[in-house]
Amino acid sequence: MSEDARTKVIELIERKYKKLIQHIAREILRDSYLVEDAYQEVLLKFIAGHEDKFELPQDEIKNYLCAAVRNTALTMLYKNQKNVSVEQEDLESRLLSMDYLDIDAFHDQYGFGLEVQELLSKLDNKDKDILCLKYGEGYDNKEIGEMIDLSEEAVRKRLYRTRIRMQSILIEREGR
């Protein structure tokens, strides 16, 4: 990618999405220095590793950036937790809902079809987060547990119960 094209992409992201990205990071991290670090990391990752994303429609770029900053901020929060103990309620209050995201645009990123997206919309945010981290991002149960402060066993049980809940929704819908 040429330097001129890279500069245009950075300017576009800063003009259209910087405030949103920082807002999402601030809700999770609650530290202005870490928020700026998260913003810079997302920007660098986007430019360095995702030249194919430059051709996406604007709404998909927005959703990609929102998901990336959310995941980056949660990872940073987890790493900082090793140094500072955070209460479970405090961590849960920092977890961001998916209200900022248009779930339809995640088809390309996570590979979820429309039917799975519809099922996800019926789940609570924590279960959606766990499913997206597991099946969309490829994290294992232990890593997910560390990110959201649950035991590996608790993550495994939540995944199991969520899959059962999704199955029952499908069966109920087919019965109509």
Q: Convert the pLDDT of each residue in 20-61 to its tens digit.
A: 888 888 888 888 889 999 999 988 888 776 565 566 666 677
**DSSP designation for 149:** T
Per-residue pLDDT tens for 137-176? 778 899 888 888 889 999 999 999 988 888 888 788 777 6
- Confirm whether pTM is higher than 0.75: no
CA dist., res. 61 & res. 73, Å (int): 18
DSSP helix/strand/coil, 139 = coil
The confidence score (pLDDT) of residue 96 equals 46
